[in-house]
Amino acid sequence: MSASTPNPHDFLDLDDELSGEERDIRDAVRAFAAEQLTPYVADWYETGSLPAAELAKGFGGLGLLGMHLEGYGCAGTSAVAYGIACRELEAVDSGLRSFVSVQGSLAMFAIHRWGSEEQRREWLPRMAAGQALGCFGLTEPDAGSDPGSMRTHAVRDGADWVLNGTKMWITNGTVADVAVVWARTDEGIRGFVVPTDTPGFTANEVKHKLSLRASLTAELVLDGVRLPADAAFPEVRGLRGPLSCLNEARYGILFGVVGAARSCYQATLNREQFGKSLAGFQLTQRKLADLVVEVNRAGLVALRIGRLKDAGKLHHNR
């Protein structure tokens, strides 16, 4: 696009601020989305399904899973690159961004940040490659915004842990190979790495969602799930464990919503009624002008937060 022709979807030319690597990642995700996601997403939304295993391999092949984490087969990109990938995925559908967020920012981040060396080595390389899927079990039927009131609990039985409880609204629960489950213990809330083939673990699909339909959602039931002592995250106690993971996921969502809003704007720009573009009607022009300002503003905020994160200066209470 020439300098004299502003990009109608990026009036501030924000992407000019991206590094070459970040732009390459943007283009790779856009190309993958155009070929592998956009043609099918309406069907996935309609049927409330997703080809999770194939998507995992596709995303893993692109290096998108846990992409901002270091080592263990993760790509180790900038946080901004991860954000841009989230933006381009959510421009297709929020469910696809959610798939990548849950794998990379919730399940993999939890193991990377809080897991033992053995837990990291066992799970992260396969999760990064998309050969193993993870889910993150924090929310419960009666503990949503207030996870501190969770009832799921883990008790010691000899050296083992035994988990009982129910988790609700767990993305990818039915297709996960491993679940990071947060449970109440005598020492406070602790995280556990639970292989989903452990006896007593079941995942029941939540059907008929009104929204986020191109995404798999489950109830997890833990009925006397017996785990070895080393299944627990070794050090972290209390809500700071799960809340640190939610902050990581929120970071990706910050960029994702920019993609979703941009898609809404694009769809309206291309809509014709009464023989001409809707964007040709003055009242609509005003709304579109407001919309593109908001999209650009959100993009600027996301980029700034991303740069702060990459510089190690981002604090959730700043």
Ligand X SMILES: Cc1cc2nc3c(=O)[nH]c(=O)nc-3n(C[C@H](O)[C@H](O)[C@H](O)COP(=O)(O)OP(=O)(O)OC[C@H]3O[C@@H](n4cnc5c(N)ncnc54)[C@H](O)[C@@H]3O)c2cc1C
Q: Provide the β-strand partners of residue 190.
A: 183
Distances (CA, A) of 169 to 26, 34, 97, 126, 250: 30, 29, 16, 24, 17
CA torsion angle 28 31 33 34 (round to 10): 170
Cβ closer to ligand X: 99 or 265? 99
Q: Which residues make up the interface to ligand X (CB under 6 A)?
A: 102, 135-139, 144-145, 169-171, 212, 217
Cβ closer to ligand X: 6 or 144? 144
Structure tokens at 114: 């809080």
Residue 220 Cβ vs ligand X, minimum distance, rounded to whole Å: 9
Residue 77 Cβ vs ligand X, minimum distance, rounded to whole Å: 23
Which is nearest to 260 in space by CA: 309, 310, 214, 206?
214
Cβ closer to ligand X: 18 or 138? 138
Q: Provide the β-strand partners of residue 160.
A: 157
Which residues are CB-neighbours of 31 under 8 A, at least 6 positions away?
A: none
Cβ closer to ligand X: 159 or 210? 210
Residue 55 Cβ vs ligand X, minimum distance, rounded to whole Å: 16
Cβ closer to ligand X: 138 or 232? 138
Tokens 């014709």 correspond to what residue?
272
Which is nearest to 160 in space by CA: 225, 204, 104?
225
- Crossing angle of helices 282-310/79-90, nearest 10°? 150
Residue 119 Cβ vs ligand X, minimum distance, rounded to whole Å: 19
Cβ closer to ligand X: 88 or 219? 219
Residue 217 Cβ vs ligand X, minimum distance, rounded to whole Å: 5
Residue 213 Cβ vs ligand X, minimum distance, rounded to whole Å: 9
